[in-house]
C-alpha cells in the first residue's frame, strides 16, 4: 500500500499553469448553460454549508452558494475566515463542529456539507466525528487520501498551516481518509486537476459512498456547470433515499 501511495505524483505542471485560463472558460460555460442549470431539481430547504479551499475564504464560494439558494436550499458560508486548516477550523475541528451544531439547532434539520479542496477534507472529517448532525457530504477535488505530497502546493500548504506531512497526525489523516463515511458521500474528482493528484480525491465506495469523475480544472470546481449539476442532483435527493449518481441529459457528456 505504501508503494502504491508513493507512486502518486503531482499533476503535470502544464495543467497548473493553465488553471486560470481554464477556470475562466468554465465560468463562461456556467453562464452559457445557466438556463439548463435552472431546471435542476428544487431543494427541500434543508441547510447546506459550503466550505472553501485552502488559503481562500467564502468569497470563492459565492457563485455556488448563489446557485444553491436559487434552488431553495438554506445556504450558509463557512464563516470562519480564511481556510488555513486547523488554524481556522480548530485543532480537532471544534470550530466547524460548533458551526454545524448551531445550524442544526437553529433549523432543526440535518446539515449537508459541500467542500471544495481542503474544505472537502474538513467536511469528511466532520462527518466522521459528528455524523448525527449531518445529512450528506460532497467533496470537490479534495485530497483526503493517497500521497499528501502529490500536489503542486505542497510547500505553500506546509508553510501556511504548519502541518508536516511526516507527522503522526498527517500520516493518520491520509491513512483513514479514503475510508467510507457513515453517511452518504460523493467525492467529485477530475483527472485534469492542475493542483492536486486526482488519485488523492477518491474514497472507498459502498452503498452510500461514491466517486464521480468530471472534466474540470481545480479552481473550476467553483465555476464548472457539470460540477454544479452533480451537486444539485445529489442534494436534491429525499433524506433517507440516497441513490448513486446517474449522468443524464443534457449534461451526460460532461462525465467520464
Round to whole Å and give the CA distance between 40 and 231. 10
Angle (CA) 162 151 28, round 5°: 115
For strand 111-116 and strand 47-51, is the pairing parallel, antiparallel, or unpaired?
A: parallel
- What pLDDT is stored for residue 5 in this prediction? 84
Q: Which cell goes with 219?
A: 479552481
Nearest by Cα to 83 from 53, 111, 103, 104: 53
Cα angle for residues 101, 105, 108 (degrees, 5° grid): 120
Contact present, 8 and 200 (Cβ < 8 Å): yes
Per-residue pLDDT in tens (0 to 9) along the chain, 256 residues: 554 787 999 999 999 999 999 999 999 999 999 999 999 999 999 999 999 999 999 999 999 999 999 999 999 999 999 999 999 999 999 999 999 999 999 999 999 999 999 999 999 999 999 999 999 999 999 999 999 999 999 999 999 999 999 999 999 999 999 999 999 999 999 999 999 999 999 999 999 999 999 999 999 999 999 999 999 999 999 999 999 999 877 777 778 7
Measuring CA to CA, how many Å separate 57 from each of 54, 61, 69, 115, 136?
A: 8, 8, 19, 12, 22
Q: In the structure grid, which three cell numbers stand for residue 191, read together?
A: 483527472
Angstrom distance (rounded) from CA 3 to CA 163: 23
Residue 2: per-residue pLDDT: 57
Contact 251, 232 (CB under 8 A): no
Q: What is the pTM of this model?
A: 0.96
How confident is the model at residue 255, as a pLDDT? 82
Q: Contact at 8 Å (CB) between 135 and 58?
A: no
Could you tell me if 43 and 68 are in contact, meaning their C-beta atoms sit under 8 angstroms apart? yes
Distances from the Cα of 36 to the Cα of 30, 154, 250, 251, angstroms: 10, 38, 8, 9
For the chain, the farthest-separated pair of C-alpha atoms sits apart, in whole angstroms, at 48
What is the pLDDT, as a whole number, of residue 248?
Answer: 78
Amino acid at each position: 500500500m505504501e508503494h502504491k501511495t508513493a507512486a502518486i505524483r503531482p499533476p503535470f505542471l502544464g495543467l497548473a499553469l493553465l488553471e486560470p485560463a481554464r477556470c475562466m472558460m468554465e465560468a463562461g460555460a456556467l453562464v452559457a448553460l445557466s438556463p439548463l442549470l435552472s431546471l435542476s431539481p428544487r431543494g427541500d430547504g434543508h441547510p447546506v454549508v459550503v466550505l472553501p479551499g485552502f488559503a481562500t475564504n467564502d468569497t470563492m464560494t459565492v457563485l455556488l452558494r448563489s446557485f444553491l439558494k436559487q434552488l431553495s436550499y438554506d445556504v450558509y458560508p463557512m464563516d470562519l475566515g480564511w481556510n488555513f486548516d486547523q488554524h481556522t477550523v480548530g485543532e480537532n475541528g471544534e470550530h466547524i463542529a460548533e458551526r454545524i451544531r448551531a445550524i442544526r439547532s437553529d433549523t432543526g434539520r440535518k446539515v449537508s456539507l459541500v467542500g471544495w479542496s481542503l474544505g472537502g477534507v474538513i467536511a469528511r472529517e466532520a462527518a466522521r466525528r459528528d455524523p448525527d448532525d449531518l445529512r450528506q457530504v460532497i467533496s470537490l477535488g479534495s485530497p483526503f487520501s493517497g500521497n499528501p505530497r502529490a500536489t503542486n502546493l505542497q510547500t505553500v500548504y506546509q508553510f501556511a498551516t504548519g502541518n508536516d506531512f511526516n507527522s503522526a497526525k498527517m500520516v493518520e489523516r491520509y491513512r483513514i481518509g479514503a475510508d467510507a463515511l457513515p453517511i452518504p458521500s460523493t467525492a467529485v474528482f477530475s483527472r485534469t486537476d492542475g493542483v492536486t493528484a486526482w488519485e488523492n480525491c477518491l474514497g472507498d465506495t459502498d452503498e452510500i459512498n461514491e466517486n464521480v469523475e468530471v472534466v474540470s480544472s481545480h479552481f473550476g470546481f467553483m465555476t464548472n456547470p457539470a460540477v454544479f449539476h452533480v451537486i444539485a442532483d445529489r442534494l436534491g435527493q429525499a433524506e433517507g433515499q440516497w441513490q448513486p449518481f446517474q449522468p443524464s441529459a443534457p449534461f451526460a457528456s460532461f462525465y467520464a
